[in-house]
Chain A
Amino acid sequence: MSYSSDLSRTSPFAMLTRSANAGGAAQWNQQSQSWVSASNTWSGDGFMWGAPTCTIASGAVIAAVRFTSYSSSDRFSFGSQWGTSGEARACSDDLMIGYGSSAAWTVNNSIGTMTLDASRARCTIIRTSLL
Chain B
Amino acid sequence: MTYMTASARLEAAVFVWASGGAVNTACPLTLVDHNWSPAPVINGSGDGLTLPAGHYMASATIFANRSSADQNVSFQFYVDGTADGMAGYSDIFNNNSNVDQADVEFTLTSSGTLELKITGIETSIPSLTSYCRLVVWRCLT
Contact = CB atoms under 8 A, between A and B. Distances in A.
A11 B10 CA distance: 11
Interface in B8-32: 8-10
Given A53-B98, A87-B97, A122 B103 contact: yes
Given A6-B109, A13-B105, A13-B137, A90 B98 contact: yes
A64 interface: no
B86 A89 contact: no
B59 interface: yes
Interface in A44-87: 51, 53, 83-84, 87
Contacts of B64: none
B106 interface: yes
Nearest to B93: A89
Given A12-B10, A124-B103, A7 B98 contact: no
Contacts of B99: 91
Interface in A1-34: 1-9, 11-15, 17, 32
Contacts of A4: 109
Nearest to A10: B55
Nearest to A33: B105
B105 A11 contact: yes
Interface residues of A, number: 33
Interface stretch (B40-48, B65-73, B77-85, B117-125): B77-85
A124 B100 contact: no
B57 interface: yes
Nearest to A12: B139
B7 interface: yes
B2 interface: no
B75 interface: no
A3 B108 CA distance: 7
B79 to A, nearest CB: 5
B106 to A, nearest CB: 5
B57 A13 contact: yes
17 contacts: A1-B80, A3-B108, A7-B53, A8-B141, A9-B55, A9-B139, A12-B8, A12-B55, A15-B86, A15-B104, A17-B86, A87-B92, A88-B95, A88-B96, A91-B98, A124-B57, A131-B7
